Structures are given as structure tokens and as C-alpha cells.
Amino acid sequence: MHRAWIAVVIGLAAVNSVGADEKLDNWHHWRGPLATGFAPKAQPPIRWDEKTNIRWKVALPGRGSATPIVWGQRVFVVTAVKTDKTIDKLPDPDARFEMRTERPRNYYQFLVLCLDRETGKELWRHQAAESVPHEGHHDSHSYAAGSPTTDGRRLYVSFGSQGIYCYTLEGKLIWSRQLGKLHTRLAWGEAVTPAIHDGKLYVNWDQEADSKLFCLDAESGRTIWDKARDEKSSWNTPLVVEGKERTQVVLNGTTRIRSYDAISGKELWQCPGMTVNAIPSCVSDGSWIYCMSGYRGASAVAVPVGAQGEVVESSLAWKAAKGTPYVPSPLLVNGRLYFTQANQQVFSAVDAANGKFVIDRERLPSVTSFYASPAAAAGRIYLVDRTGTTVVLEQGDQVKVLATNRLADAIDASPVLVGKQMFLRGASSLYCIEER
């Protein structure tokens, strides 16, 4: 079976309550229908600017960096709005944790918005919570960094320490859960994005102490199981990989990459080798699971999906120690892994089968640094930098720039590719881009 279609098969495991075609027509997860960044059925535009190929542009309240999701004719996005209401006295900080950010005194409203896909009109909004966050966040971060997800029936939203929420697609609250307060490294902030599979919601709760992986019942929010993790803060999203004999949930981590049985929570395997601050989410083609990290170092490994126990180097398909991403996650499409070095405009591609670099750390023109993860559709790769400039590359083993597009908004959220449209969430606005 061709690797691209292996990826399609494995990606379909993430939402199995709806038909495969329906899933591929949508963008239910921040990394797309296959959790790889690849949208097999999308045909987004190649060129745009503030006056060209903008179907609509809508101002967003507050601040957020979470990637939107799209299901049918609805676009879902989350944000946090700073209010003028303040607390008189902050509670004493937890002396166990070092903070290098300023603790807020203002209350924030944590909002969920639903927009009409065709017009940008707001269909509904709900305030999930209003509170004073117990920690600050990095200057480049926000209090709304975890992306929502959906199984086509319900919407699942995480504001981390401010709660996990489940809504109908029409906006009715079904349940909410408080899993406690997260204490992130140096109080840099949270980004908890859940993953949905087979009626279960998987939530990465890595922090500076008492890290866990939660498995919640998607219908009620009750805890099915939780698994303690010997990890410090990480910000990656669980990857669900469905196989013939088992379904596993994979989390990146500084100490170990670990896999858990999706039903019981039993640890299946672990693999060393990541750098500190494991932010990139893992991807899979159904045969191998690819994990990367790139803060103060570089590491990438290809672990067999059937791994057991401690994964030794001889069991890996390959490993690499250069060019890997810090914040962005890698893109997997047609047997190639595409990624940027750290957050820089330095681009690489490797053959997923053997780890050979077919593009080795080439500098991209006209862009700066990246937080957004790359996405692909229609034989093209879309990379959006933090200034709002998108470079469009021809998919392949050479850097061939097809277009460079600029918007007047900073962008940290990843691009969303659905049908003939692209959605870009900026610091102040949400764009729907479509050839006109």
C-alpha cells in the first residue's frame, strides 16, 4: 500500500463515528483530518493578500493562538479576553515552582466561538469560564493556545487549568471537567489540545509535577483511566494510532516518548532521545511513528508501531540529530517528512522510510520564524511565519517557491485547509481565503 494511503487509513482512526469521506472533507483536529498536516481532498488557493482572494475577514476578541477547526459549515475558534475586573490580592504562589512570568491580576473570559464558514457570521459564542489565571505566560504565548476538536457530533474544548468543556455543535454545553491546575515550566503557559477517538478523549496533562495522561469518556466527561507520567512540561497533542491488534496513544516527552494502550492505559513502549520542551506532536504512516524535538538540540526517531517495552536503537527505522523543529510539528505526506529547524526559516525534508535528507536545512526566502506547523494539499506545502507571511512550496525533494503571500496580522496558529478554502487565525482576525 502506498505510504500516502497508509497515512489516510491510520488517520481515519481518529474519528470513526462518521464516514471516511465526511472526515476527509473537514478539518476536525489542529493537524487536519489525518493528524499529519495533510488534507488529501483540499484545493486551497496559491496566492492571496489583504485585497486578493479574501472571502471574509472577521475581527476576533481577546487573544489566542489556538488553531481553528472546521466541521461542515461551522468554524470553531477559542480565545481569552482580558477584562478590567481585577483581584485585590493574589494568593501565595506555589513555592515548588519557579516563575519567570508575571502573574496576572485581571480576570479573563475564556470564550468559544462558532462562525458560519461561508460568511464569517458569528453563529454562537459561549463563555466557558471567567477567572484569574494562577500563572502568567510567555510573551509569545496566550491563555487560549489549546485547539478544539470534534467527532462530528460534539465539540471538545480545552482551556487547561480553566477546564475541559464539551458542547453540541449548536452550542449547548453537555459537560465540563476541572482536572486541576497546571504548573508549566517557568510559568511559560499552557497549550492542552485533546485528541478524540472511539468515544474517548485523550488529554496530555504534562507539567512540572504530577504529570498525567487522561482518558475521558467523550459522552459524559468522566475519567475512564489516568496514567502518571515521569515527565516535566510538554505541549504536544496525543497521537492515536489504530492497528489490527491494538490501538495506542503516543505522547512525545523530554525523558521518553511513550505509548499507551488506548483502552486500558497500560504502557506499551518507551523510547529515549528527545530534547527538553517536547512541543512537536508525533505523526504516523501506519507502519512507523515519527517523533521530533528541537530546543537546545535536535532529535528525530522512527519507532515501529508494533514496538514493545524499551525501544533500543537497533529497533528504529532511523534516527537523526539535525534540523528538527522546536514549536512547529512536522508534516507527513507521500512518504516525506517536512519540517523547519527550531523556529527558524531553515527547511528540511527526509524520506520517511530511511531518514535520508532529501532537502537538508535550506533557508527559505522572504519569511522569518515559525510557530505554525506546515500543512499540505494539492501537491503544495504551506508554511506561515509569525509575521503573517506564507510561503507556498511545490511538494517534492527540492525547494521550489510557488508564491509568497502577506497578510497584515501576526500568525502563530497553523493553517487550516478545507475544500477550496484556507483559514488563517491571526492575532486580531480570522481569515477565510478562497480564490475569487
**What pLDDT digit, counting tens, does each position of 122-157 carry?**
999 999 999 999 999 999 999 999 999 999 999 999
Could you tell me the three cell numbers for 101? 512570568
State the pLDDT at residue 23.
Answer: 84
CB 3, CB 290: distance < 8 Å: no
- pLDDT tens digits, 372-430: 999 999 999 999 999 999 999 999 999 999 999 999 999 999 999 999 999 999 999 99
State the pLDDT at residue 2.
Answer: 41
Distance CA 349, CA 399 (A): 10
CB 188, CB 138: distance < 8 Å: yes
Which regions in the chain score pLDDT beneath 70?
1-20
The CATH number of 3-88+99-434 is which of 2.40.110.10, 2.40.160.20, 2.130.10.10, 3.40.47.10?
Answer: 2.130.10.10
State the pLDDT at residue 19.
Answer: 57
CB 326, CB 234: distance < 8 Å: no
Distance CA 253, CA 353 (A): 23
Which of 129, 117, 44, 119 is closest to 78 using CA atoms? 129
State the pLDDT at residue 8.
Answer: 45
SS3 letters for the chain? CCHHHHHHHHHHHHCCCCCHHHHHCCECCCCCCCCCCECCCCCCCCCCECCECEEEEEECCCECCCCCEEECCEEEEEEEEEEEEECCCCCCCCCCCCCCCCCCCEEEEEEEEEEECCCCCEEEEEEEEEECCCCCCCCCCCCCCCCCEECCCEEEEECHHHCEEEEECCCCEEEEECCCCCCCHHHCCCCCCCEEECCEEEEEECCCCCCEEEEEECCCCCEEEEEECCCCCCCCCCEEEECCCCEEEEECCCCCEEEEECCCCCEEEEECCCCCCCCCCCEECCCEEEEEECCCCCEEEEEECCCCEECCHHHCCEEECCCCECCCCCEEECCEEEEECECCCEEEEEECCCCCEEEEEEECCCCCCCCCCCEEECCEEEEECCCCEEEEEECCCCCCEEEEEECCCCCCCCCEEECCEEEEECCCEEEEEECC
Residue with cell 502563530: 412
Indicate the domain borders of the chain: 3-88+99-434
Distance CA 37, CA 30 (A): 8
Which of 109, 125, 145, 39 is closest to 74 using CA atoms? 125
